[in-house]
């Protein structure tokens, strides 16, 4: 098992590029494993949106906390989770981050401040607000970040949490990854007004940023995080981005026509990876690519070689106090 | 005609929409027909009646209630069973209560459809609940069809009903296909169906588990004569039919994919123990108390009711 | 049983004054009946806020619809409900609007487009949006109005419904009665940003109006209702107002210190009744007062003389199809 | 010392806050102590720990979950039982599931307190539910204390518990007072209490109905020897204690203020029928199926379990 990188690894352009590549490579590998049937249930691939996770997490300290979404692999990796253990989680192995109990949509690593991906759109927002409140209560200068999509902008609980964060000036950064769609629904037909306007109406400083540009995201996030850490209250970032793949791997089996091939091709022109690679000295990107390939090959080997959980232990951890619930049959 | 379960739901919606201009459908990605039951509805009936909604389950459920209070017959499709938790207030505290609280001034003809309830392998804890017992407790009309024909007929009746009705289409029943040689037609709510007659034990099986019960009944036929009883509607429950079945068999096993404590399994055992003929202690097979389905497929499956438990329970009640 | 006035009765200053007085008098009578124990459970008195209900309903047609709140008597009366049947409802009699099944918090008269008071803060908002959607579907030019308090501005479901109304340009008017408090919580410590700014962020035209001035409310409501009826989409009104009584009649039994005596006295200076009376020819207000007194005396007699419901029929109407649920005991 | 139920809750909160700086309270109008249990807490512990919240139940419940995930022990006071419907997703789909889904990385030490659950005369349909069975089904630890001492002790244990716990304080139990001559102390969750021993029938009574059961037991003492069994915690339920009681009596009546179908009454009958000694068919007294309490006091009362039903049921099981 490799030791987890921490978010400090994102301090240099090279570190950030490497993380972009790691996420991209991880997702490609996961797609293969979904296709082969090794990963049950499929995933929501993050490919195309890597600059958001990397740019934001580059603005964080290891003790800061995040909440993530159904499309969470990028956030979890960028915050420092071990790719091999994340992959093992996707494969449902005991060496997984969650011992195979959570899978893609619930990957978490509390030791790194990763309070979990979440299967319910918008749910992570107020949880991050709670973490921010906690930090202030404990007298710690930890910041919390909530990642969510454009779809979540229409979830009441998220809007409620904007109000609480603003009212109480909590150290939380709301990061909206606007990839233009909630599954098949275009944001333009779903979000009245603007994302930033919505946050601003609660008195939250809100900025829009090119979500395909890691450095732009990082600088906007750094500004907001610095303000929040200093007691200046919450911030909101709308990162304009795009997912290159379908909403979920299931989509590959369906004929859906909600996006045109041209639109996808256009956005691929803005791929965050070449953009980040261009900032590096000649040849470095290729070297980093190679090291990521190795890391992922090792991760795959680790994960595929890990144990499947024992069905007898299916109810482990249902209660934190160890309470054993009654079985489903007495016969 | 070969009819799949999903296609049956699709047909029920199509026929209801065609028959009554007050019927309309709300939900996420229903324009694309993503989950199946709404396929092609947008093309045929237009965006005025097939409404692709933003991710605002609470507001669009309440909106549908408002529409139901003013002459429409809305159907809502929910993508995941746990979205029902998100709109629990709207369903149980608003839709269910309007009729009594207004002294009968109004009904709320709202239908909620959950295609793919229960575990879908690999969707993990927040997407795999089977919360029908919660709604039976609250008192909403609650329907869990096991077959394509029943799915068609019960969904039609749900839409025509003046009260809110919730229809669970278990993920494990969606692959079921039937060769249908008869005319599809509405099936009244509150009527059980006996899929197989028997004289030794009555097995009450809910939703997809009807098919497991039938398989086990066949398998054990040389040994035990099993009656397979499908309530179809959990509330109102067809108690007279159950009493009649127990008059014949006197023995009861329930197989139910909801959590054990306070589930429909408990209700069936309780009512039978209180009011019906039992010659041996009854048994139920359920998910464990308070189940959260773990992601790993082996763990997920280990917590769902399975055939082996049913075999053991049948033999136990025969002892 | 008197015949219900319809909202057209609010077409003249005299009609509006009379309705203000009717609501005030009704609430005073209800307070007496709570004190005497005749009304079980108490009420949320509307005294002080009458100009909002009357001003808004004066902008409506009989076929328009409203949803109301826990503090709903004013809305229900202004939309035309018979005071005697509303009072009978508060007393739990079979002649009540809801046959005694609803009480104060659920008073409704569907024949007048009154879709009900509601016990859950914010719940009426999206129901009105649904009624507006229905009307458009049916090709009718009916408008729907949702009344709610400042507290409801923090309910996610209401914010979600702003988005749906705006996105779909529905004929609905959101009326926020900002009386400064949600029970004991001052709006200033609960609502970040402003009420109008919050609605405006969804692209809803939003105006603030003096909620103690019936004519100002009426003119702002008329503008919004006219726009909505003409297909111009939703509107939002923030009516600044005040309740002269406690949050709920229970409050009289408690020592709560969330408002000062001076604050209450200051707001009483803005009582909407004298203001509306001043617009009338000399002596008319006194005449109308007398006619209201008579009407309420008759209502009281009617209501107190009405039958109590039969306990055997406690489950009547539980299901609209007449389904009889199982009893609570078989013994 | 004369201790009221509400004061006992107030003491439990005060003692927990004083003992552990991680404990904090969220809720509406708690600064003013409006419902009773939070009286004077703001003065003593300050706004940093006693947080008066805007009317955003979903967000502040999730916030409390976030706080619980990061070292705090939040208590939320809900003003009305139906607010639990509004936060059903947050409680059942988030708080309850974190421990298993994270593979045991975290607990969620969150306590939800509902002072005034069930009917309060004249509050009508949306304010009068008693939804504890829903949470027992979902698997949240669910507590319904009947007496001031138990209210104190169980609330203390709930706050100290590493899992989410929901504590219902029935409106009809709030007027109960006790003369307390002992030291108040935590009472472990999951342990039933036998208020009165008997040899003919075990009456399982939930919450305020314990007092009705005791009164009826006294009254019928010359005729029937009634054991009054208060589960105190509905999930986890103290099944061994019930089995032991039924070993003695062999007869069972449950009196439970939740809806009939799939209520805790059903669960007790089902488990007893399945696994325990019963010499006569058991009985339960509940609210009717799907009850919505009408406003008029006579109608409201007619739908709640009452003593006369209990008398009849006791005589029926003795036949
Ligand atoms: C509250 C809720 N509603 C619906 C779903 C089903 N669902 C899962 S992801 C998704 C779309 C989310 O869109 P967005 O927030 O933009 O995130 P993206 O998928 O684009 O990353 C939907 C509808 C859900 N999980 N939760
Ligand atoms: C969702 C919800 N939360 C809490 C309550 C309890 N409650 C009833 S009225 C009220 C205050 C409402 O304030 P506001 O919306 O400003 O209306 P006002 O009472 O001032 O008219 C509260 C907290 C409720 N009924 N519904
Ligand atoms: Mg999106
Ligand atoms: Mg207010």
D165 and D224 fall within a common domain: no
Query: Which residue numbers of B are catalytic?
Result: 127
B101 and B151 fall within a common domain: yes
- Of D179, D213, D229, the last residue of a domain is D179
Tell whether D187 is covered by a domain: no
Outline where DSSP puts E strands in chain C.
Answer: 65-67, 144-149, 172-178, 181-182, 185-186, 206-210, 235-240
Q: Which of C131, C129, C187, C177 is nearest to C154 (CA)?
A: C187
B143 and B206 fall within a common domain: no
Q: Is the pLDDT of residue A2 over 50?
A: no
Tokens of D177: 């007072």
Residue C6 confidence class, pLDDT cut points 50, 70, 90: very low
D18 and D125 fall within a common domain: yes
pLDDT value at residue B248: 97
pLDDT value at residue C7: 55
What are the distances in angstroms from CA B138 to CA A299, B91, C39? 48, 9, 28
> Which residues does residue C182 pair with via DSSP β-bridges, in sequence order?
C185
> Which residues does residue A177 pair with via DSSP β-bridges, in sequence order?
A149, A239
**Mutual angle of helices C156-167 and C124-137, in 10-degree steps:** 20
Residue C54 CA to residue C145 CA, distance in Å, equals 13
The whole-angstrom distance between residue C259's C-alpha and the CA centroid of its chain comes to 23
Q: Do A331 and B313 touch (CB under 8 A)?
A: yes
Grouping H, G, I as helix, E, B as strand and the rest as coil, residue B95 is helix
Grouping H, G, I as helix, E, B as strand and the rest as coil, residue A155 is coil
Residue in chain A nearest D87 by alpha carbon: A157
B80 and B226 fall within a common domain: no
B159 and B208 fall within a common domain: no
| Residue D112: CATH number of its domain | 3.40.50.970
pLDDT value at residue C8: 54
pLDDT value at residue A248: 95
B168 and B198 fall within a common domain: no
B213 and B169 fall within a common domain: no
B171-228 tens-digit pLDDT? 999 999 999 988 999 999 999 999 999 999 999 999 999 999 999 999 999 999 999 9
Residue D146 CA to residue D209 CA, distance in Å, equals 8
Per-residue HEC secondary structure of B174-239 comes to: CCCEEECCCCCCCCCCCCCEEEECCCCEEEEECCCHHHHHHHHHHHHCCCCCEEEEECCEEECCCH
What's phi and psi for A17, nearest 5 deg? -60, -45
Tell whether D185 is covered by a domain: no
Tell whether B187 is covered by a domain: no
Which is it for strands A172-178 and A235-240: parallel, antiparallel or unpaired?
A: parallel
Mean pLDDT value across residues B54-69: 98
Please give the DSSP secondary-structure letter assigned to residue D140: -
Residue boundaries of the structural domains of chain C: 6-307
Q: Residue written as tokens 């026929």?
A: B15
Which residues does chain A have within 8 Å of residue B305's beta carbon, measured at their own beta carbons? 328-329
Cβ contacts of residue B313 below 8 Å, gap of 6+?
Answer: A329, A331, B253, B255, B283, B284, B285
Using an 8 Å Cβ cutoff, are C202 and A198 in contact? yes
B108-119 exposure pattern, b = at least 16 Cβ within 10 A, e = fewer: bbbbbbbbbbbb
B15 and B164 fall within a common domain: yes
Q: Is the pLDDT of residue B290 over 80?
A: yes
Mean pLDDT value across residues A33-51: 97
D154 and D229 fall within a common domain: no
Using an 8 Å Cβ cutoff, are B9 and B115 in contact? yes
Which residues does chain D have within 8 Å of residue A144's beta carbon, measured at their own beta carbons? 66
Best B99, B261, B285 member to test D by mutation, with max D CBs in 10 Å, is B261
pLDDT value at residue B188: 98
ipTM above 0.90, yes or no: yes
CA of C69 to the centre of ligand 2 (A): 9
Question: What's the domain count of chain B?
Answer: 2
Which is it for strands D252-259 and D201-205: parallel, antiparallel or unpaired?
A: parallel
Distance in Å, alpha carbon of B54 to nearest chain D alpha carbon: 19
B170 and B214 fall within a common domain: no
Mean pLDDT value across residues D173-181: 94
C247-296 tens-digit pLDDT? 999 988 888 889 999 999 999 999 999 999 999 999 999 999 999 999 99
Best A127, A203, A328 member to test D by mutation, with max D CBs in 10 Å, is A127
| Residue D197: CATH number of its domain | 3.40.50.920
pLDDT value at residue C257: 86
Residue nearest to atom 12 of ligand 1 (CA): A182
For residue D80, give its domain range.
2-179
Tell whether B186 is covered by a domain: no
Residue C152 CA to residue A79 CA, distance in Å, equals 37
B22 and B44 fall within a common domain: yes
Grouping H, G, I as helix, E, B as strand and the rest as coil, residue C296 is helix
Residue B274 CA to residue D280 CA, distance in Å, equals 9
The whole-angstrom distance between residue A205's C-alpha and the CA centroid of its chain comes to 22
CA of A202 to the centre of ligand 4 (A): 19
Interface list for C 6-65 with D (CB within 8 A): 39-42
Q: Which atom of ligand 1 is nearest to the CA of A149?
A: 15
Whether residue C181 has its Cβ less than 6 Å from ligand 2 = yes
Tell whether D276 is covered by a domain: yes
Tell whether D163 is covered by a domain: yes
Residue B68 CA to residue B64 CA, distance in Å, equals 6
Q: Fold for domain C6-307?
A: Rossmann fold (3.40.50)
Residue A8 confidence class, pLDDT cut points 50, 70, 90: low
Q: Residue written as tokens 């709570």?
A: C34
Average pLDDT, chain B: 97
Tell whether D219 is covered by a domain: yes
């Amino acid at each position: 098992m490799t030791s987890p990188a921490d978010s400090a690894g994102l301090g240099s352009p090279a570190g950030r590029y490497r993380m972009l590549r790691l996420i991209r490579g991880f997702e490609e590998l996961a797609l293969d494993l979904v296709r082969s049937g090794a990963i049950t249930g499929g995933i929501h691939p993050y490919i195309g949106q890597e600059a958001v996770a990397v740019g934001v997490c580059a603005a964080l300290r290891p003790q800061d906390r995040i909440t993530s979404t159904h499309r969470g692999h990028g956030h979890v990796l960028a915050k420092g989770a071990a790719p091999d253990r994340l992959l093992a989680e996707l494969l449902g192995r005991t060496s997984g981050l969650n011992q195979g109990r959570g899978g893609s949509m619930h990957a978490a690593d509390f030791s790194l401040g990763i309070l979990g991906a979440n299967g319910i759109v918008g749910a992570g927002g107020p949880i991050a607000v709670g973490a921010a409140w906690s930090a202030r209560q404990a007298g710690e200068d930890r910041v919390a970040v909530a990642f969510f999509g454009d779809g979540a902008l229409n979830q009441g609980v998220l809007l409620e949490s904007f109000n609480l964060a603003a009212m109480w000036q909590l150290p939380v950064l709301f990061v909206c990854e606007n990839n233009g769609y909630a599954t098949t629904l275009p944001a333009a037909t779903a979000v009245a007004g603007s994302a930033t306007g919505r946050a601003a109406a609660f008195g939250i400083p809100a900025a829009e940023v090119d979500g395909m540009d890691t450095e732009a995201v990082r600088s906007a996030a750094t500004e907001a995080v610095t303000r929040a850490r200093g007691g200046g209250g919450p911030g909101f970032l709308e990162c304009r981005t795009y997912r290159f793949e379908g909403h979920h791997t299931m989509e590959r089996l369906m004929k859906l026509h909600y996006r045109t091939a041209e639109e996808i091709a256009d956005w691929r022109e803005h791929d965050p990876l070449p953009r980040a690679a261009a900032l590096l000295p000649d040849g470095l990107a290729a070297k980093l690519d190679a090291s990521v390939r190795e890391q992922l090959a090792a991760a795959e080997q680790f994960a595929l070689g890990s144990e499947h959980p024992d069905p007898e232990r299916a109810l482990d951890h249902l209660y934190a106090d160890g309470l054993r619930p009654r079985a489903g049959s007495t016969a | 005609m070969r009819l799949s379960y999903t296609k049956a739901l699709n047909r029920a919606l199509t026929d209801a929409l065609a028959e009554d201009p007050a019927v309309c459908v709300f939900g996420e990605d229903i324009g694309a027909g993503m989950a199946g039951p709404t396929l092609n509805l947008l093309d045929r009936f237009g965006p005025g009646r097939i409404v692709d909604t933003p991710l605002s389950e609470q507001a669009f459920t309440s909106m549908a209630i408002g529409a139901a209070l003013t002459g429409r017959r809305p159907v809502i499709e929910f993508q995941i069973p746990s979205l029902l938790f998100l709109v629990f207030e709207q369903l149980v505290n608003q839709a269910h209560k309007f009729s009594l609280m207004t002294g009968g001034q109004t009904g709320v003809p709202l239908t909620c459809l959950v295609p793919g309830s229960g575990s879908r392998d690999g969707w993990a804890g927040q997407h795999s609940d089977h919360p029908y017992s919660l709604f039976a407790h609250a008192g909403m009309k609650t329907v869990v069809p096991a077959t394509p024909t029943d799915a068609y007929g019960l969904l039609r009746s749900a839409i025509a009903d003046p009260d809110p009705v919730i229809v669970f289409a278990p993920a494990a029943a969606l692959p079921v296909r039937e060769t249908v040689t008869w005319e599809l037609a509405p099936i009244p709510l509150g009527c059980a169906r006996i899929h197989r007659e028997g004289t030794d034990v009555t097995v009450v099986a809910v939703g997809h588990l009807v098919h497991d019960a039938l398989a086990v009944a066949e398998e054990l036929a040389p040994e035990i004569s099993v009656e397979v009883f499908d309530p179809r509607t959990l509330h109102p429950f067809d108690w007279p039919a159950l009493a009649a079945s127990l008059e014949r068999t006197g023995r009861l096993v329930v197989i139910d994919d909801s959590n054990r404590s306070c589930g429909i399994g408990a209700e069936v055992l309780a009512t039978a123990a209180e009011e019906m003929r039992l010659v041996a202690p009854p048994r139920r097979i359920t998910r464990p108390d308070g189940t959260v389905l773990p992601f790993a497929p082996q763990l997920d499956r280990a917590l769902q009711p399975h055939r082996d438990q049913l075999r053991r329970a049948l033999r136990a009640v025969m002892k």
